[in-house]
Structure 1
Amino acid sequence: MNNSEQTPEAENEPKEQMVDGTPAPAESDDASGQGETDFGAEPDSLMDEQAAEIASLKDKLLRAMAEVENMRRRAEREKEDAHNYAITKFARDMLAISDNLRRALDSIPAEARTQEDIKQIVTGVELTESELLNAFEKHKIKKIEPMGKKFDPHLHQAMFEIENLEVEPGTVMQVVQSGYVIADRLLRPSMVGIAKGGQKKTDVKVDQQA
């Protein structure tokens, strides 16, 4: 048989490619799967770290928002306080003028008020006092009216006690000097006299025999 002739089996066999005179190595079926990394799935530890970081950032954001809200409220409160109480010192000085006007009116006897000259003076002083009190009202300065009310240490200052068993102990019986508040703060306490403690007198009935 001639060597140049090949059998049918030989024709069906795959021919090896020659590279530089040497046969190329056969490709392995597993070669395509080697050296590749699966980036689709993250490790559980990395996901936990990211979740913790997100929670931390969310907490910081909520804290920052709360702090901003507190600062806004504080600024509004300070602004309101500055508006309401900026004239506190000036108002205290003006109270002395109001006191003097009232003392001037109280010092005029009732019989003297009927005289024409005195009557005009009284009217002028009363108008001045009224205008001053109206100015106080515009600036939220109000006069305390303690007469007949229960003694309040936050608004009143007790100067003396008055014996009176017809009222409850601690009732304001006399006002020595008027007190004032500005907005919701005490500007000056009312100086008062209060009823002294004791039991109220009761009528005792005595049976009379005929």
Structure 2
Amino acid sequence: MSDESKNSETADIDPNASPADLKAAADDILKSAPKDQAELSPEEAMQKLEIEKEEMREQLLRTLADLENTRKRAERQVTDARIYAIEKFAGDLLSVSDNLGRALSALSEEDRNALSEPGRNLFEGIEMTQKELHTALARHGVTAIAAEPGDSFDPNQHQAVANIPSDQPNGTIASCFQPGWKIGDRTLRAAMVAVSAGVAN
């Protein structure tokens, strides 16, 4: 009878078998084990088990590390999705903000003072609408990028469209043509600025 047939016979043990039957079945399994395993000394068997234990421990640690990395990556993706989900929508609203800003800057201080009561109310309504829009954007993490004259030029947040002589220190912002915006840590739209070339000779 082959080893395979022995193994298949010893594997079919009655669950209600007596302890004596179970001991006999275990002896049969040990007898049918390959020679190199059956002939291991207790010390060698212990050493082999120690090696297998270490291998399983390393595999478990690697699996736990992978799970932790997956958990952190999933948390980061959820956070990013929450912060940047409205990125495209916010980008579309920037032109609305630009148009409101242009409408407000179209009148000089003198012209504003000369407005009639209804004209003043209209102007104030536009101002309030712009403030409300900026407040709503800020509530969702969309904020304006600082680009005042004298501020340091940051190529990650500012787009230089001109290099002009000015009273501001060389390399700083001389003036801002279009405000920039960021969402979280990302630049949504760079501020369009002129960089100072220093005082003209």
Pair in the same fold by TM > 0.5: yes
**2-structure distance, mates of 1:111, 1:176:** 22
Identity %: 38
Report the alpha carbon displacement of residue 44 of structure 1 after superposing the two structures with TM: 2.8
The residue aligned with 2:158 is 156
**1-structure distance, mates of 2:168, 2:146:** 18
The residue aligned with 1:95 is 94
Give the TM-score of the pair, scaled to structure 2.
Answer: 0.75
Report whether the alignment pairs 1:123 with 2:124. Answer: yes
The residue aligned with 1:16 is none
**1-structure distance, mates of 2:145, 2:119:** 29
Give the TM-score of the pair, scaled to structure 1.
Answer: 0.72
Q: Number of matched residues?
A: 159
User: Displaced runs of 4+ in structure 1, greater than 3 A?
Assistant: none
2:127 maps to a residue whose letter is E
The answer (yes or no) to whether the contact 2:147–2:173 under 8 Å persists in 1 is yes
Report whether the alignment pairs 1:50 with 2:49. Answer: yes
Q: Greater Rg, structure 1 or structure 2?
A: 1
Report the alpha carbon displacement of residue 197 of structure 1 after superposing the two structures with TM: 5.2
The residue aligned with 2:13 is none
**2-structure distance, mates of 1:48, 1:171:** 70
Report the alpha carbon displacement of residue 46 of structure 1 after superposing the two structures with TM: 1.9
The answer (yes or no) to whether the contact 2:160–2:192 under 8 Å persists in 1 is yes
Gaps (5+ residues) in structure 2?
1-39
Name the one with the larger helix percent. 2
Report the alpha carbon displacement of residue 43 of structure 1 after superposing the two structures with TM: 3.4
Report the alpha carbon displacement of residue 98 of structure 1 after superposing the two structures with TM: 0.2
2:111 maps to a residue whose letter is A
Secondary structure, counterpart of 1:173 in structure 2: strand
RMSD across aligned C-alpha pairs, in angstroms? Answer: 1.8
